[in-house]
């Protein structure tokens, strides 16, 4: 995305137009600020970020059941 | 799930594939996470050979196959099926010859884009196609992500 396209997308997500799909998503419960954050990243950065999330998630999965009394 | 290693193995082996599903959503900007890699592959003989070779080092086995039953991972196995949900040493990988709502690899390439991710050039579904696929799949899990994907599409519209 060009800087102009990104700015326009961010504006649409920050200020959803009445009746828009973005407004519907907000009402559905989507955190639009997360999408703004993702849009600022390149696909490669998104992949790296999620890869790290997955790695950490795997490392702590089931930790609650392993806690000491 | 070591998705990076999986994608790199596929690309480096010369496999023709499109990233679909959750990772396609992530690459398109979704904030949802996923614990498997879904790809749509071309069914040409040469590609099946590349695909079999690419994943062989990671010991793929069918997820729903009862323990103890033999499973041969090779080009012939790939030729005889269209959906393979695999456990591998790298994590869960689903191989689809056809995507609901979109069609075969050859049919979906028009609705895909090549991007740089995982230190490789990879082909993934574009947002419009991903939305079509999710809608066609129609499960609660697929439909749940639609509001977010449609928001991204609307935000990026000219």
pLDDT tens for chain B, 158 residues long, are: 889 999 999 999 999 999 999 999 999 999 988 889 999 999 999 999 999 999 999 999 999 888 788 889 999 999 999 999 999 999 999 999 999 999 999 999 999 999 999 999 999 999 999 999 999 999 998 999 999 999 999 999 98
Residues of B in contact with A57 (CB under 8 A): 33, 35
pTM of the complete model: 0.90
List, for residues A27-67, the tens digit of each pLDDT value.
999 999 999 999 999 999 999 998 888 888 777 777 777 76
Q: Which of A25, A46, A47 is closest, CB to CB, to B151? A: A25
Compute and round to an integer the Cα radius of gyration of chain B: 15
SS3 category, B86: strand
Q: How many residues does chain A have?
A: 69
Q: Do A54 and B118 lie within an 8 Å CB cutoff?
A: no
The answer to whether residue B35 neighbours chain A at the CB level (below 8 Å) is yes
ipTM of the complex: 0.83
The answer to whether residue B10 neighbours chain A at the CB level (below 8 Å) is no
Q: Do B154 and A31 lie within an 8 Å CB cutoff?
A: no
Q: Do A21 and B153 lie within an 8 Å CB cutoff?
A: yes
């Amino acid at each position: 995305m060009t800087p102009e396209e990104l700015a326009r997308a961010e504006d649409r997500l920050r200020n959803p137009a009445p009746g828009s799909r973005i407004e519907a998503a907000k009402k559905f419960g989507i955190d639009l600020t997360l999408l703004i954050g993702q849009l600022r990243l390149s696909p490669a950065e998104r992949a790296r970020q999620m890869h790290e999330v997955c790695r950490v998630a795997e490392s702590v999965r089931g930790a609650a059941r392993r806690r000491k009394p | 799930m070591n998705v990076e290693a999986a994608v790199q193995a596929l690309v480096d082996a010369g496999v023709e594939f499109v990233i679909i599903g959750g990772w396609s959503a992530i690459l398109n900007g979704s904030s949802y996470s996923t614990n498997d890699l879904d790809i749509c592959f071309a069914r040409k003989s040469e590609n099946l050979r590349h695909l079999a070779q690419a994943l062989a080092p990671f010991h793929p086995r069918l997820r729903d196959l009862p323990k103890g039953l033999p499973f041969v991972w090779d080009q012939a196995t790939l030729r005889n099926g269209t959906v393979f949900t695999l456990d591998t040493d790298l994590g869960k990988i689903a191989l689809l010859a056809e995507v609901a709502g979109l069609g075969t690899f050859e049919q979906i390439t028009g609705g895909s884009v090549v991007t740089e991710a995982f230190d490789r050039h990879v082909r993934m579904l574009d947002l419009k196609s991903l939305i079509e696929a999710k809608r066609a799949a129609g499960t609660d899990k697929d439909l749940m992500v639609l509001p977010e994907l449609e928001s991204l599409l609307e935000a990026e519209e000219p």
